[in-house]
Structures are given as C-alpha cells and as structure tokens.
Structure 1
C-alpha cells in the first residue's frame, strides 16, 4: 500500500471536516460552488490541492458515498509589488493544474487613504471586497482561506503589542459568514509539505521575509511589516526561550478569548438595542445644539448605558460608532473613552469628533451619534475630514 503523506492527510481531513459541516447543516448541496482564495503561497496552494481532492466526496461516511461539489479559486492581485500580475497569473495556472474551475484573477486598487489601517489593512479591505464580489457573482456557498496556526499565533502577538482588547486577541475565527479557515489547526511547515507531496511549487512573498542581514528595515530603509517582524524575529525567540509549543499555546489562548468575546459582544448588542431610542420617539423638537435628526443618526438613551457594566457599555458604544460609519481600524480605545465620558463623566463637554468625520453629542439625557454629512453636490472642495483623536 502506498504511503500516505501525513501532512496531506491532515490537510484533507481539515477540509473534509469543514465541507462536511456545511453539508450536514444543509448549506452545501451537490454541484454547489466553493471558492479558494489563493495567493500562490504554500498555505493557499495546499488548501487548493486539498479542496480539489475532497470536492468529489463531501459528506462521505460508512453510510454514505457523499456527493460532489465544484471548487474554484480567486487570485487577488493587489498591484503593490512589481511583477504582481505575473505572480497572480502563475498562481491561477497552478490552481487550474490542480483541477480547480473556475479560476479568476481580480486586480484591485488599494486605497491607503485617511481612515485606512495602514497599507496592510487597506490591502486586506480591498482583498475581501474582491472576494465578496466574486462569491456573490458566482453564487459561491463558501470561500476557503489558508490561514494557519502560525498566522493565528502571530495575530495574538500583534494584538498584545498594540494593547488591544479581547476581541483582537481572539484572533481569527474558524468561520465568519461565508469565510472558512480549515487550516487553523495546521502549521505552516505542514502546508509546505503538502505542496511538496502534490508536486506544486509555491511563491514566497518577499514582504514575508526578513532581510538577509536580519535587520528590521527593508531595502531603501522602509520598515519591514509588523507581521513579518513577529514571524521572523519574535516567534523564534519565544520558542527558543520558552520551548516548543508556544505557537500552539497562543492559538489556544485565542480560542478561549474568542468564546469570552462572543459572549460579551452578544450582551453588548442587547444593551445597545435596549438603549436605542425608536424613531417614533424622536418626533418632538430636538434640544438646542442638536441638528435635525436624520434617518442615519443613532440616538441612545444614556440611562441604560450608565447603569451597565463598563465592559458591556464600552463594547456597545464602539458598535454604535461603527454603525454610523466610523472605520473599524481607525476607531481606537481613545475614541471609545471619549464616548464613554459622555455617558458616565458628563460635565457639559462638547461634541466628540470620531473617525470618518462622524460626531457624538450628549443633550437632555440622550446621546446623538451622527455620521459624516454627505459632500454637497457641486462643491469645489470636499469638507476637510476631522482628524481622529490621537493614539
């Protein structure tokens, strides 16, 4: 009997479990389309290979032969490096060689303007927008992402370094909407072994590597991306100092924090709902200093918020800010602090300026959160954006 490569077996089992769960819940049926987001790197090509092998046997068991689904791929070209179009074309060709169909390449424009969470955050936003569009156009049931256990550990370390809360430290969810991450239990070395087992060459993004001299500055003096520094410099030091198992321990921490964060978020959503003033109660003239309340203005009763636990109140206030258009990546703890002060430390202070040019104002026991005003038609220059509170 031919020896089964253990890394390939693990990858196939991970994909089989995710597709089986979709089939078991009735979300995946024979002939449905599942997409793989592929960059041409080891993780996503290993995922493409495993998905192609498992596509004909979804839901297979001792009592069922299973059924076949279609597996395609989306290659997003961010256009941020010279030769990115060639890398994308090669990744697409390798997906086709693995048997995926359809295979689509989408070039995106990365807008690293005000409100964006840096180049990496802007690229991520553009990538997911493209993946959403392709999935919607093709009627895909799910999009598989190749994030690994190493990626999860790196996300936890980055969250710790930024002083983030539990939601950020919870890392990446195994499933969020149509997006699935089957490889969150696999190491990066395993995905490289999968590529070797199926005979496919993978591309290594140069931005994921530290310079040869080990410095934290790339050519031209530009800073190496934070995730690359964590991957190439921080994790090896932790493993050397604390021994093997650090990556797995960090991923377990993310799993535990995610369960806690999910519970707190659900309670915070209930609080926000209870504090929201219905539109029917806004017919009376508004207090002095409050502009006419539009359909996009969120009005909150301060009472329920003030009585709530601070952890729930702050989560509810952040959700309220996002609801009126504040960019998630730019909405920091300082902004939430300012909103919280309007609730529990009210001293007659003026409006709070929020990212995305939103405003928050307290008057007569209510908190008014107003999104940015639309750009007037025919104006020579758009209104200047309000700078966010300092970090």
Structure 2
C-alpha cells in the first residue's frame, strides 16, 4: 500500500454531544437498516469500539454506511483509491466527505498501488483488501456486497466447476470481513441513496463488458430472470446459503477424519520403524475407508495447512487417486515450495506424505 493520497478526516459532530443526521423511514431505508441491525446482533454484538465500512462512493457502500451510522453508532469509513482512472483521487475525496456528512466519526482515504498478477480485477481486489486490513485498527470491516453480488459470485463459481465449495458464495462474516447486505437487492441501496438525496459514484469498470462479472450482471442474469420467470438472483443466493450451512457440517466431520488419519499414521509409522511421525503424513487406510466427500475435504485442508498454494480440482483429484486408484504413480506437485523446490504429495509405505523435493 502506498502512503500517497492518504488522508484522515474526523467528524467534529461525533463525540461532541451532537447527534448524527436522522434518516427518513422509507421502505428502502428500513430494509437496509434491518439488515445491518441483524448482522450486528449476530456477528458483532459486543462491537463497542464500532465498525469500519469500506466505502467506494457507490450506492451499495453509501447505503451501508448510512445504515451503519444509525445502527452501530461509531463508524469509520475507509475509502480505497485504486488510482486506475483519472480523477480517482477526487472521487475518493467526495466519498470521504459524504461519509462525514452521513455521520461517520472519521473518513480515511487509502491510496494503493495495483499490480498486474492475475489480471486487473484480481490485482485490484488484492490491493484493496490489503489496504483495508492494514487500516482497520482491529475493527470488523463491513463490505457493501448485495444479494445481486452473491448471485453473480455463485454463477462464477458454477462456471469453475470445482464442487459445492465454489458455489457457496460469500460468507456473511469471515473475520474481519462482514457483509450485512447479502439479503438486500441492489435496487434497495439505490433507492436509499435517492431517498437521502445522495448521488452515488458510477464506476466505469462496473459497466465495462471486458469484465466477466459485468457481463453476468448485464446480460446473463437478466436473461435467466426472463427465461425462468424471475426470482433467479434470490434463488442463487438461497442456494449459496444452504450450501454454506451444509459445508460447515462437512468441514467439521472432515476435520475429525483428518485428526484420525494423522493419529493412525503416527501409529503405523511407529510400528514400521520405531520413530515418531514427521507431522505431515496421513494413513491411507483411514482415508480410503471414508466417504469421498469427507476424504476430499480432509485432503484439501491437509494440503492447505502444509503450504499448498492455488489448489485446483485437478490437484485434489490427483491426490485422491493416490489413495483410491493407486497404480504406482508418482507424487503430485501441489503448488507450494520455493526456488529450486516443489511441494509434493506422495504415497509412501501406506501413508500419504507431503514434502519439499
């Protein structure tokens, strides 16, 4: 993160015995407020220090900031300036000013350097989250993702075809990131801004057809809504929520399997050569007799804990075949390691091992 263009403004109305602006009780305002209130009650009931809001100046984050000020009381706005377009600094300054007018106790502009790894979207996202994490001062950061964003995320995951985990969508809370508006349509946030007389910033990137997510938003989802008679976005969001709940249970069971496979590997290794486990091996027999859904989740967790990077379905399938379709094949490189070495999962003497080679 670059320090250039960074500024912090404190709201003199907050903490000086003055009240923040009241919001009109319109349908959109009440809907967004209920969503934020429910999120705070479930995920941050003791957030006495307040929350931070990632504010872009768009309708979703403006609506979120407005509701959070009323429901949480103490709100710090964090405005990321990606510096990818002319005038981005002015856009960030306007967003910060709007935050203070809404009643945020502070507004901070964070100018970042966006790299090129993984494409523009991925690089901007990485820079944004790094800046927000560095500036949040221990507070949870609320993000303005809506039900429409969730539906788009599910469709993107479906296209990847890497199993149920890829279509679970975004979590309502994944510390420190909170998403109170996952049940709120984008139209409601726009209406809230209209009700408050706010003029949201329209990011040109949000209508640029070269971005896959933009085409999903402007072409694919409207077509699905038309063909299937409406309700598609809400249905996709419900599916994500259900899969996430199911996934939590499966992950817990996979964790039990992983602990059992590790303990059994320790016993097998000790019986073989009298030495203790090296800490990165699993019992093939224990894994092979487990249901496939649990086994693959356990393998995934084990690989990530061991330093594997950028895991794909292909990696997991190849490692799973070391257990269930053993034909004497060699180890599987799983994306970790460093200069001159690779992290490799292999089958050795009835155990699944992971070592640098």
Q: TM-score, normalised by structure 2?
A: 0.83
Per-residue CA distance 1:71-119 (angstroms, 9 max, x = gap): 1111223334444333323222221222212222223344443xx5x44
1:73/1:95 contact within 8 Å kept: yes
Rounded Cα–Cα distance in structure 1 between residues aligned with 2:120 and 2:263: 38
Tell me the CA shift for residue 42 of structure 1: 0.8
Q: Aligned in 2, Cα 1:273/1:189: closer, same or farther, shift over 3 Å?
A: same
- RMSD, aligned α-carbons: 2.8
Segments of structure 2 that go 5 or more residues without pairing to the other structure are: 1-22, 338-342
Per-residue CA distance 1:338-373 (angstroms, 9 max, x = gap): 1111111222222211223422122111222236x8
Q: Aligned in 2, Cα 1:73/1:350: closer, same or farther, shift over 3 Å?
A: same
SS of 1:204 mapped into structure 2: coil
Per-residue CA distance 1:100-145 (angstroms, 9 max, x = gap): 12222223344443xx5x443333333223222222xx231x2211
1:76/1:106 contact within 8 Å kept: yes
Question: 1:29-68 alignment to 2 at 5 Å?
Answer: 29=48, 32-56=49-73
Rounded Cα–Cα distance in structure 2 between residues aligned with 1:111 and 1:277: 43
Partner of 2:130: 129
Rounded Cα–Cα distance in structure 2 between residues aligned with 1:82 and 1:360: 48
Q: How many residues align?
A: 328
Tell me the CA shift for residue 278 of structure 1: 9.1
Rounded Cα–Cα distance in structure 1 between residues aligned with 2:237 and 2:253: 25
Which among 214, 239, 244 is matched to residue 228 of structure 1?
214
SS of 1:247 mapped into structure 2: helix
1:366 and 2:355 correspond: no
Q: TM-score, normalised by structure 1?
A: 0.76
1:139 and 2:138 correspond: yes
1:89 and 2:69 correspond: no
1:49/1:198 contact within 8 Å kept: no
Question: 1:1-391 alignment to 2 at 5 Å?
Answer: 4-22=25-43, 24=45, 27-29=46-48, 32-56=49-73, 70-113=74-117, 116=118, 118-135=119-136, 138-140=137-139, 142-210=140-208, 216=209, 224-276=210-262, 298-327=280-309, 330-357=310-337, 358-370=343-355
2:269/2:277 contact within 8 Å kept: no
Rounded Cα–Cα distance in structure 1 between residues aligned with 2:353 and 2:120: 32
Segments of structure 1 that go 5 or more residues without pairing to the other structure are: 57-69, 211-215, 217-223, 288-292, 374-391
Per-residue CA distance 1:27-61 (angstroms, 9 max, x = gap): 323xx1211111111101110111112234xxxxx
Rounded Cα–Cα distance in structure 2 between residues aligned with 1:134 and 1:89: 17
Q: Aligned in 2, Cα 1:75/1:312: closer, same or farther, shift over 3 Å?
A: same
1:148/1:186 contact within 8 Å kept: yes
